[in-house]
Structure 1
Amino acid sequence: MKIAMTGASGFVANALKKRFPDVVVIERSDDLNTIVQKLKGVYAVFNLAGAPIAAKWDEAYKKVLWSSRIETTKKLVEAINQSEVEHLISTSAVGIYPSNVPSDERSEKLGEDFLAHLAIAWEGEARKCTKKTTIVRFGVVLGRGGGALEKMLPAFRIGLGGIIGNGAMVMSWVDIDDLVSIYAFVLEHQLEGIFNATSPQPLTNFRFTTMLGKVLRRPTFFPVPAFIIKMLFGEGATVLLDSKEAYPKALLEKGFVFEYGDLEHSLRKILA
């Protein structure tokens, strides 16, 4: 099965390429005609394009976040609609949900901050696709060789890890291997619609920190005050400080089984 992919150099993309090795790479700089040509013989497109969210946001960077998702998806969908591609799987994020509200795919209430508006607009462009369309809302992706965990490990390995703020914010996460399996499951069953790519067991930052320390056999005595996060990331601190409790109800109803739905199981596999 030939797959085309945007954002092909990223952490998630590299994991997907191991499962789907016949990949056509679509560059952000490709014009519409180039993309249409690249899509010849392609069955499905994985839209993973987007500048990193975990960064300091100022007005200029927010424009980068917007254009790298919205404009790229708009051009991609226009090309797909002119092609023989059968299936688009487009990325979104659980940042679309409001903070401190347990949510699943049927939740009607969405967030009102920049991250939520970004996800809403992103999904809106994907829905303009005339082929089978699936939107996968990522939680925090955990795995070896990239992502959030890779940034946390240096401090934790030397015993300087700790909770963020008061540790009460809920984190919706997914193991990278389960995320890859979700893509395969969606294609195998030709699923359309919205799916939360999150473990059925979201947990607080305190519990996550405690478990990571346990697996690494390191203390977790050094909390990071919320104001430090805000100084480092500006408005982007919301990614780390907001509480997003999202459940994969739609996937579970379709029969998907998480192999690494328990955090300790996931961490021990990743850190083995």
Structure 2
Amino acid sequence: MKVAISGASGFVANALKQKFPDFVVIERKDDVEAIARKLKDVYAVFNLAGAPIVAKWDEAYKKVLWDSRIETTKKLVAAIHQSDVEHFISTSAVGIYPNNVPCDEESSKLSEDFLGHLALAWEREAQKCTKRTTILRFGVVLGEGGALEKMLPAFRMCMGGIIGDGRMITSWIDIDDLVSIYAFVLEKRLEGIFNATSPQPLTNYHFTKILGKVLHRPTFFPVPSFIIKMLFGEGSTVLLDSKEAYPKALLNQGFVFAYPDLESSLRKILA
């Protein structure tokens, strides 16, 4: 099966390349005509394009976040409509959900902040595709790279700790389960919205303690919320928000998680 991948240099894309070795890369500079040419003999398109979300936001960077997702998706959809592609799998995020509310795909209430509006606009562009379309709402993806790679140095130096009061919920997923979700969606020819998250979200406190346990490191040094806000400004919401998302739709379809709990995931990744 030949696939096309946008955002192909990213952590998730690199894992997908191992599962789907027959791939072509869609670059951000490609116009609709260039993308359409690359889609010859492609069965599915994986849309992973987007500037890094964990950063200090100002109005200029918020425009970068918006354009790298919305404008890229517009071009992809236009090119897919000129091709024989059968399946479009686009990305979203659990940031679409409000804070401190357990949510699944049937939840109607959405976040009213920038991340919520960004995710909703991203999904609406993808849903303009007339081919079979699937949207995966990512939680924090754990693997050899990504968010975990940024956490590990502090923990390995015995300087890891909870963020703020540690009560915020983290919805996460193991990279191997995420890759398996792509294969599952393609095999089952599923369309619609799916939360790509473990069935066991947990508080930052418990996340921190489990990571410390697996690394055999203490977790004595909390990181005050105000420091995160100083470093990232409005972008600190990515680290401080509390998103509790459940993969109800995937479970209903029969998907089985290989790493449903954090400790099993971390022990595999850090072995």
How do 1:88-127 residues align onto structure 2 when only pairs under 5 Å count?
Answer: 88-127=88-127
Q: Which runs of 4+ in 1 moved over 6 A?
A: none
Structure 1 distance, partners of 2:34, 2:201, is 41
- Structure 1: gaps spanning 5 or more residues: none
Structure 2 distance, partners of 1:163, 1:201, is 19
Q: Name the aligned partner's letter for residue 35 of structure 1.
A: I
Secondary structure of the residue aligned to 2:108 is coil
User: How well do the aligned residues superpose, as a CA RMSD in angstroms?
Assistant: 0.3
Q: How far off is 1:82 after superposition? A: 1.1
Secondary structure of the residue aligned to 2:245 is coil
Q: How many correspondences in the alignment?
A: 271
2:207 is the counterpart of 1:229: no
Structure 1 distance, partners of 2:74, 2:34, is 15
Q: Partner residue of 2:261? A: 262
- Structure 2: gaps spanning 5 or more residues: none
CA deviation string 1:99-140 (max 9, x = no partner): 000000000000000000000000000000010000000000
Q: Name the aligned partner's letter for residue 263 of structure 1.
A: L
Q: Partner residue of 1:197? A: 196
2:36 is the counterpart of 1:18: no
Q: TM-score normalised to the size of structure 1?
A: 0.99
Secondary structure of the residue aligned to 2:257 is coil
Q: TM-score normalised to the size of structure 2?
A: 1.00
Q: Name the aligned partner's letter for residue 49 of structure 1.
A: A
Q: How far off is 1:142 after superposition? A: 0.3
Q: Partner residue of 1:73? A: 73
Secondary structure of the residue aligned to 1:9 is coil
Q: Name the aligned partner's letter for residue 189 of structure 1.
A: K
2:164 is the counterpart of 1:151: no
Q: How far off is 1:72 after superposition? A: 0.4
Q: Name the aligned partner's letter for residue 182 of structure 2.
A: Y
Q: How far off is 1:168 after superposition? A: 0.2
Secondary structure of the residue aligned to 2:223 is coil
CA deviation string 1:191-237 (max 9, x = no partner): 00000000000000000000000000000000000000000001000
Q: Partner residue of 1:165? A: 164
Q: Partner residue of 1:133? A: 133
CA deviation string 1:21-44 (max 9, x = no partner): 001100000011111100010000
Percent identity over the alignment is: 80
